[in-house]
Structure 1
Amino acid sequence: MIHEVDEALRALFRAEVMANSPVGIVFEAPTRDWAAKVNAPTIDVYLYDIREDTRRRGRGLLNEYDARGAVVARRRPPTYFTLSYLVTAWTRRPEDEHRLLSAVLSCLLRHDALPAAHLTGALGELGLPVPMTIALPPPSDRSFADVWNALGGELKPSLDLVIGVPVTDSPVFPAGPQVTDEGLRIGLAGLPPTPPPPPFPETAPALPVYGRPPGPPAAGEDGEDPPAPPGRRRGIASRVAEGRGS
């Protein structure tokens, strides 16, 4: 992803800035040791910061379609990262450096995004815009002087180029079968067949009336007292007589 942005910038500057001039394009860190070795006009495009653009973070899932227009998979929306480049010009004379920086600035101001004709690889296959901004005020958490101090070099005229790059490397979730107008058929598989119900009897057995079993009434029913157990007298009078005799 980053190397594809580098190649797009190289192609853009060669097509609209250099115009067959012998100016080189490098992506080196502009340190003291490197600057001492530069012996030809050069544009240095140094990548010094990479971070996610949380303002463009998406939610939900995006559908992927086949040739029939049916959803076959879903994936997360692309994540955008900002690539910050420090663009400097290196010649023997400061006036030539200023002319070269002016040409680079004019070229970048003509485009709100990297031209699609210069996008290659996976970045070109996405078909998404790659926006860029040039020479905006730096964020509050860093300054260009801090960048030069970290590089160990002297402060030099430069352009701050920020490019927003979409990254689509995310899990792919296959979609379920498409629902049509014919509806769904739901069934259970792997279960034993259900046996048929038993046949209904031709004659039903006699049922008891109010809970009484069929047959002649037992002793004690229909208002009669049940027979007394052996060795025991019946009635209240017998018990009273037994009590008096004692």
Structure 2
Amino acid sequence: MTDALTSPTPGSPVQFEVATNVPTTHGTFEMRAYRDLVTGAEHVAIIAAGPDGTAPRDGALVRVHSECLTGEAFGSLKCECGPQLDAALGTIAAEGGVVVYLRGQEGRGIGLINKLKAYRLQEDGLDTLDANLALGFPADSRAYGGAAGILADLGITSLRLLSNNPEKRRQLEEHGIVVESLVPLVVGISAQNAGYLDTKRDRMGHQLPTHLEAGSPLA
């Protein structure tokens, strides 16, 4: 196990705390915990070596994933976050790579209670974007400086991003990360989240198929 650092790297938005190996249903990962020095949130890098046993490096497959309690722990069908995390972990277990798991960004950064308020507004007919706006928030409040700091600590300055979201790519590139390509992650489609996914595609620019069908596999 790597010893915890006593101070952050000068200029880094995160402080490394500890590394340990964790067995999971997908295999054993190295997990490195970080404290976000801007937001105070606790993040984790979930790391899998490649088939040849080498650690991820430039050009690695990386998923930057925001915490979603409702989708990941409660199995909500209003989003595809749980299946996305599961698919990402399975993919890096097979191919090698990193999942950077960002805590404190529930509901695109508005928090759990406000996310449930947004759900309630969606029951009245608003889509996911307008519900956030009606609560006084931007369409997406998430920030990725912490993720960029974690990737820098891992020595990864260029990557293939497992995501459908060009905005995530843009923000990472603003923080100095070279995104070589977006690798589609199309999973968890259901009748309950079809409208949510349509909004992500049509109003937020996510790279999703025009016709979404329940049960679509990882593309």
- TM > 0.5: no
With the length of structure 2 as denominator, give the TM-score of the two structures: 0.28
With the length of structure 1 as denominator, give the TM-score of the two structures: 0.26
Q: Larger C-alpha radius of gyration, 1 or 2? A: 1
Query: Higher RCO, 1 or 2 (CA under 8 Å, sep at least 6)?
Result: 1
